[in-house]
Structure 1
Amino acid sequence: MKKSHISILFFASILSFAILISCDEEGLGSCTGCPDDAPYGAKGGDCYATLSACESNESGNCEICQ
């Protein structure tokens, strides 16, 4: 009985850790606020008119930031 409680707690902690990591990467990694004429950017970076310009200046971490 005690062994099953330990294994349940172990799997619950693994699941919580996995959810925390996935939320951090997707939820907090997005960017917003770029204008229509320069829609591409990276979190904490500048806005760019083209995806290629963004990727060359922001280490390839670009997305549409509107």
Structure 2
Amino acid sequence: MPTYNKLIRDHILEIIEKDNLSYNARVLVPEEHLTEIKKKLYEEVKEFDETANEIDGLEEMLRTS
């Protein structure tokens, strides 16, 4: 089973459960929030920066919202 150390949102765990898949998750303690949110932001900016053209860039930005 792959491991993804990622922030999740939008009821992702409920979607995984609905598909009868298993997962291991934990709720961040408040001291971890800023660090993890910054990591996520940097990841999204990197993905946007790696796009080759305006259409791909717009699609990347729409996918993260």
Instruction: State if a TM-score over 0.5 links the two structures.
Output: no
TM (norm. structure 1) is 0.34
More helix by share: 2
Larger radius of gyration: 1
TM (norm. structure 2) is 0.35
